[in-house]
């Protein structure tokens, strides 16, 4: 610890602390522009200059490390004069745009000038003007160069955290201007983090342009509903209408970072076809009915089915909250007498073998690390396996990039598609889904993989890293859950963690879910008891909550078949879907953003999801529907509000006991904290996983092979309802590397065939894609009539024809 004086007051700080951080910890204010915790230190804005006794020049507080007995003055005459001078100099060319600038009211330059400025300006000469009109750098980012104060936060966040390196500085001196290549950012991630970090109104959000003033806005702290990273967001509305999405510094796992989906995709709740009243199929036509008629129908049906010892199956979407899921599984188990409860449409591999659920439960309770991502990213070695993290969990990838820069640890990356993190990986491998278990086994055993050079290189490089590492973090994507090898992969995850722990290493493991509450649903008990139920048999009632099995499941999936063939399909949903169109009963619910609840993210952290508005009049919250059904069928489920249900979750669900309390008369919490690992239970006997040789050749592929998943601007089908995101990237495309004969200048289309099904879509050339690998975003494949992907085979071989469009 180091003792030093700040404004005469003695302060003790850890060695290596900068004057700025020491001041902030002591509530002493020092203005800054270019400094940002997450980014490299520039000390270029010169606003944080402070006086250090004994030194002739003022020192930048952000870059000067405290030394023993240092005496710092943050408000001396010299310092005050320096700040006034600096602000006057900055205002020399900064246009007086406040009345028309979006940033007004939350502008750091405005605030700092108000606090530290002189109050007048002696500039009489004309200001430098780059251009009169603002530039649209892309569909969501607008730029005014005249306002830029060259703090370089945008350039640094784009390079150091997001990894796009899309922004840079042209020219020099006063002509220096931030921009993208050709004054365009058309190819960047569109994450909008540059907008978030810009201290002035230079970089602006196009969807938000001219919509509101910050003081008009009502703010709601919530958790993003796109992927499992669980970013904290502030949704801001004006007069009930969505104005924009922001992320505050120092809140949540993400701080000020969001991805394109999180930042611009929230308007999906205003798109799509909303269901406004309950519907019942009469004479094969869906007819609007009252709530009591719909619920009575279900109750009677249920009584019949229970009476004749029939079977009720349940499916709930991983975008549903913990509260909804908790009450749903209560309804299923205690009222419908069924534990055949599923929590995802797309992961066919989870239902193929009866032991899978038990193995998964063991993994979740014993192997899964419930730790902050920021902590486990400091491990010596991070293994990213089977995840297209830059598309599916972009902010997690930003955090990895940032932590790698700070900690200089090793990143091992094995994914099906090229990844933005490739450039910082110590070793990388293109891995076809289905081979994750085999790769894990190769990494922790002596399995011979020498027949494939790339795989062999990766394994030997990784083994070297793993050997030296004292701590290892495994971050595993969900792509393997679509295929036949899901069970093997679970077993090998458990085995790998154990073997590495036996070597004396500290090991952490988390999944990277591509939906916000997959883990929460599993914790709540939405896992099917596969031993007790024959998945092939068609249920008498299929109760589907917000999911769309008819569209989203692979062809031939048991859940799809159940939805297509069940005599009574109940779909409880906010938006019209393919499954809803085939349902016997449709029950309308609030959408994301219309009811309170909680999500459990990848870290196993419970975070609040807030309502930003009330649902329309005729819509009942999901939990109310469940409790009404339960009550009519003889079971009283008392808790009703989200807070009450959470209280009961805390009591009944393992690991949720230690969550924080909501203050009754105090600030509402966003983060309830991490769940804890439940007490060890006797795990079901897991037979020694068989060491398997890789079953499919790593690239080079012999045949055209199709994979799917999220893309940078799409998370399932919901994001297609977002106006903002629809303008970014194409909804329909086939991404592949067609070879050098195909020229970027021309437009091609690709027809993919499998059996009797085919899809035609524009070709998106990606020259770093492995040969013969094709990718189509998931939302596009979810066409019930024309499914390419089947449960039997993922990834699957397809026929391919490419031709010039219009030819």
CB-side exposure of 569: number of CA atoms within 13 Å? 26
Among 43, 227, 259, 562, binds other proteins (CB under 8 A): 43
96 near other proteins, rule: CB under 8 A: no
- For residue 379, report the phi and psi dihedrals to the nearest 5 degrees: -60, 155
Quote the DSSP letter at residue 125. S
27 near other proteins, rule: CB under 8 A: no
Among 20, 50, 72, 86, binds other proteins (CB under 8 A): 86
Between 178 and 497, whose beta carbon lies closer to other proteins? 178
124 near other proteins, rule: CB under 8 A: yes
Per-residue string for binding with other proteins, 711-740, x by CB under 8 A?
Answer: ------------------------------
95 near other proteins, rule: CB under 8 A: no
Query: What proportions of the chain, in percent to the nearest 5, are helix, strand and coil?
Result: 30, 20, 50
Stated as kind and residue range, the H or E segment containing 734 is strand 734-736
Distances (CA, A) of 489 to 349, 383, 414, 516, 606: 10, 15, 14, 22, 26
Least distance in angstroms from the C-beta of 13 to other proteins: 18
With contacts defined by CB under 8 A, name the span among 106-114, 117-125, 480-488, 518-526 that binds other proteins: 117-125
802 near other proteins, rule: CB under 8 A: no
Task: For residues 369 and 743, give the distance between their C-alpha atoms in angstroms, rounded to a whole number.
Answer: 47
Which is nearest to 379 in space by CA: 507, 241, 263?
507
With contacts defined by CB under 8 A, name the span among 85-93, 317-325, 383-391, 748-756 that binds other proteins: 85-93
Task: For residues 399 and 423, give the distance between their C-alpha atoms in angstroms, rounded to a whole number.
Answer: 15
With contacts defined by CB under 8 A, name the span among 83-91, 430-438, 565-573, 685-693 that binds other proteins: 83-91
Q: Which two tokens stand for residue 498?
A: 């154990």
Among 77, 120, 125, 250, binds other proteins (CB under 8 A): 125
Between 84 and 731, whose beta carbon lies closer to other proteins? 84
Per-residue string for binding with other proteins, 178-197, x by CB under 8 A?
Answer: --xxx---------------
Distances (CA, A) of 666 to 596, 607, 661: 17, 17, 11
92 near other proteins, rule: CB under 8 A: yes
CB 512 within 8 A of CB 477: yes
Q: What is the CA radius of gyration of the chain?
A: 28
β-partners of residue 180 are 167
Between 202 and 576, whose beta carbon lies closer to other proteins? 202
Classify 77 as helix, strand or coil: helix
Least distance in angstroms from the C-beta of 251 to other proteins: 29
Among 2, 75, 88, 104, binds other proteins (CB under 8 A): 88
Classify 238 as helix, strand or coil: strand
How does 15-27 read in b/e, with b if 16+ C-beta sit within 10 Å?
eebbbbbbbbeee
Give me the sheet containing 2-6, strands edge to edge. 9-13, 2-6, 71-73, 49-52, 59-60
406 near other proteins, rule: CB under 8 A: no
Task: For residues 345 and 343, give the distance between their C-alpha atoms in angstroms, rounded to a whole number.
Answer: 7
Task: Name, in order, each residue with C-beta under 8 angstroms of 600's C-beta and a sequence gap of 6 or more.
Answer: 230, 322, 517, 519, 520, 523, 606, 607, 675
129 near other proteins, rule: CB under 8 A: no
Task: Name, in order, each residue with C-beta under 8 angstroms of 464's C-beta and a sequence gap of 6 or more.
Answer: none
343 near other proteins, rule: CB under 8 A: no
211 near other proteins, rule: CB under 8 A: no
CB 710 within 8 A of CB 514: yes
Which is nearest to 433 in space by CA: 546, 554, 319, 343?
554
Among 9, 120, 122, 215, binds other proteins (CB under 8 A): 122
Which is nearest to 778 in space by CA: 718, 725, 727, 722?
718
With contacts defined by CB under 8 A, name the span among 120-128, 225-233, 489-497, 663-671 that binds other proteins: 120-128
With contacts defined by CB under 8 A, name the span among 87-95, 324-332, 533-541, 709-717 that binds other proteins: 87-95
387 near other proteins, rule: CB under 8 A: no
Least distance in angstroms from the C-beta of 82 to other proteins: 6
Between 137 and 649, whose beta carbon lies closer to other proteins? 137
Task: For residues 174 and 164, give the distance between their C-alpha atoms in angstroms, rounded to a whole number.
Answer: 26
Distances (CA, A) of 39 to 184, 246, 588, 794: 23, 19, 45, 41
Stated as kind and residue range, the H or E segment containing 94 is none
Tell me whether the omega of the peptide bond preceding residue 795 falls within 30 degrees of 0, making it cis: yes
Task: For residues 235 and 456, give the distance between their C-alpha atoms in angstroms, rounded to a whole number.
Answer: 48
89 near other proteins, rule: CB under 8 A: yes
223 near other proteins, rule: CB under 8 A: no
120 near other proteins, rule: CB under 8 A: no
With contacts defined by CB under 8 A, name the span among 79-87, 190-198, 479-487, 638-646 that binds other proteins: 79-87
Among 57, 99, 663, 687, binds other proteins (CB under 8 A): 57
Between 170 and 693, whose beta carbon lies closer to other proteins? 170
Per-residue string for binding with other proteins, 141-180, x by CB under 8 A?
Answer: --------xx--------------xxxxxxxxxxxx---x
108 near other proteins, rule: CB under 8 A: no
Among 2, 63, 686, 802, binds other proteins (CB under 8 A): 63
With contacts defined by CB under 8 A, name the span among 36-44, 383-391, 690-698, 701-709 that binds other proteins: 36-44
- Give the Cβ contact number of residue 446 at 10 Å: 8
Q: What is the separation, in whole angstroms, between the first and last Cα of the chain?
A: 73
Least distance in angstroms from the C-beta of 188 to other proteins: 10
Per-residue string for binding with other proteins, 633-672, x by CB under 8 A?
Answer: ----------------------------------------
123 near other proteins, rule: CB under 8 A: yes
604 near other proteins, rule: CB under 8 A: no
Which is nearest to 201 in space by CA: 273, 284, 108?
108
Between 47 and 547, whose beta carbon lies closer to other proteins? 47
Binding site for other proteins (CB under 8 A): 41-46, 49, 57-58, 63, 78, 82, 85-86, 88-90, 92-93, 122-125, 128, 149-150, 165-176, 180-182
């Amino acid at each position: 610890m180091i003792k030093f004086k700040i404004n005469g007051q003695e302060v003790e700080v850890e060695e290596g602390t900068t004057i700025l951080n020491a001041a902030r910890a002591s509530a002493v204010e020092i203005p800054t522009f270019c400094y940002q915790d997450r980014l490299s230190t520039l000390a270029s804005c010169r606003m944080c200059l402070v006086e250090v006794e004994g030194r002739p020049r003022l020192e930048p507080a952000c870059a000067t490390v405290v030394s023993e007995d240092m005496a710092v003055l943050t408000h001396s005459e010299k310092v005050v004069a320096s700040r006034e001078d600096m602000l006057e100099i900055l205002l020399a060319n900064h246009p007086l745009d406040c009345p028309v600038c979006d940033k007004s009211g939350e502008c750091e330059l405005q605030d700092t000038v108000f606090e530290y400025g002189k109050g007048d300006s002696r500039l009489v000469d004309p200001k430098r003007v780059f251009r009169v009109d603002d530039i649209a750098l892309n569909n969501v980012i607008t730029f005014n160069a005249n306002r830029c104060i060259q703090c370089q936060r945008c350039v640094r966040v784009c390079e150091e955290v997001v990894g796009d390196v899309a922004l840079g500085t042209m020219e020099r001196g006063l002509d220096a201007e931030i921009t993208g290549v050709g004054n365009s950012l058309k190819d960047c991630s569109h994450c909008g983090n540059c907008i978030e970090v810009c201290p002035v109104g230079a970089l602006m959000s196009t969807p938000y342009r001219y919509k509101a003033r910050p003081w008009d806005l009502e703010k709601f702290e919530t958790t993003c509903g796109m992927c499992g990273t669980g970013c904290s967001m502030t949704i801001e509305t004006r007069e009930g209408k969505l104005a924009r999405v922001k992320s505050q510094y120092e809140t949540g796992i993400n701080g000020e970072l969001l991805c394109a989906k999180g930042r611009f995709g929230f308007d999906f709740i205003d798109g799509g076809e909303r269901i406004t009243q309950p519907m019942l199929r009469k004479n094969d036509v869906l007819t609007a009915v009252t709530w009591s008629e719909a619920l009575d129908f279900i109750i009677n049906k249920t009584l019949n089915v229970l009476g004749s010892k029939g079977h009720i199956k349940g499916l709930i979407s991983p975008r549903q909250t913990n509260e909804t899921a908790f009450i749903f599984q209560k309804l299923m188990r205690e009222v419908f007498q069924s534990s055949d409860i599923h929590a995802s449409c797309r992961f066919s591999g989870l239902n193929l073998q009866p032991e899978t659920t038990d193995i998964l439960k063991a993994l979740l309770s014993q192997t899964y690390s419930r730790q902050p991502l920021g902590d486990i990213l400091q491990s010596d070695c991070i293994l990213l396996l089977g995840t297209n993290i830059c598309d599916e969990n972009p902010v997690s990838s930003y955090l990895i990039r940032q932590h790698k820069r700070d900690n200089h640890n090793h990143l091992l990356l094995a994914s099906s598609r090229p990844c933005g993190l490739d450039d910082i990986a110590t070793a990388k491998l293109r891995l076809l889904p289905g081979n994750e278990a085999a790769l894990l086994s190769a990494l922790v055993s002596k399995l011979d993989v020498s027949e494939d050079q790339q795989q062999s290189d990766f394994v030997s490089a990784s083994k070297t890293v793993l050997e030296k590492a004292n701590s290892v973090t495994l971050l595993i994507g969900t792509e393997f859950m679509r295929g036949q090898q899901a069970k093997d992969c679970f077993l090998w995850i458990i085995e790998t963690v154990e073997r590495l722990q036996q070597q004396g290493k500290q090991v952490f493991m988390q999944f990277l879910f591509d939906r916000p509450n997959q883990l929460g649903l599993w914790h709540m008990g939405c896992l099917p008891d596969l031993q007790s139920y024959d998945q092939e048999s068609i249920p008498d009632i299929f109760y589907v909550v917000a999911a769309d099995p008819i569209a989203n499941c692979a062809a031939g999936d048991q859940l799809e078949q159940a939805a297509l063939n069940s005599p009574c399909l109940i779909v409880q949903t906010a938006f019209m879907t393919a499954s809803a169109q085939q349902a016997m009963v449709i029950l309308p619910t609030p959408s994301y953003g219309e009811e309170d609840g909680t999500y459990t993210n990848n870290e196993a952290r419970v975070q609040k999801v807030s309502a930003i508005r009330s649902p329309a009049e005729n819509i009942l919250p999901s939990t109310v529907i469940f409790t009404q059904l339960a009550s009519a069928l003889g079971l009283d489920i008392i808790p009703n509000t989200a807070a009450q249900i959470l209280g009961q979750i805390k009591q009944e669900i393992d690991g949720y006991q230690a969550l924080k309390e909501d203050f009754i008369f105090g600030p509402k919490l966003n983060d309830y904290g991490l769940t804890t690992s439940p007490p060890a239970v006797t795990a079901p006997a897991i037979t020694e996983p068989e060491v398997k040789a890789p079953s499919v050749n790593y690239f080079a592929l012999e045949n055209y092979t199709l994979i799917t998943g999220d893309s940078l601007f799409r998370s399932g089908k919901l994001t297609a309802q977002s106006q903002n995101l629809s303008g970014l990237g194409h909804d329909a495309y086939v991404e592949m590397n067609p070879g050098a004969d195909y020229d970027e200048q021309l437009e091609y289309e690709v027809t993919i065939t499998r059996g009797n099904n085919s899809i035609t879509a524009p070709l998106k050339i990606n020259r770093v894609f492995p040969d013969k690998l094709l990718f189509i975003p998931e939302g596009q494949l979810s066409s019930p009539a024309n499914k390419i992907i089947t449960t039997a085979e993922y990834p699957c071989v397809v026929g391919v024809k490419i031709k010039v469009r219009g030819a």
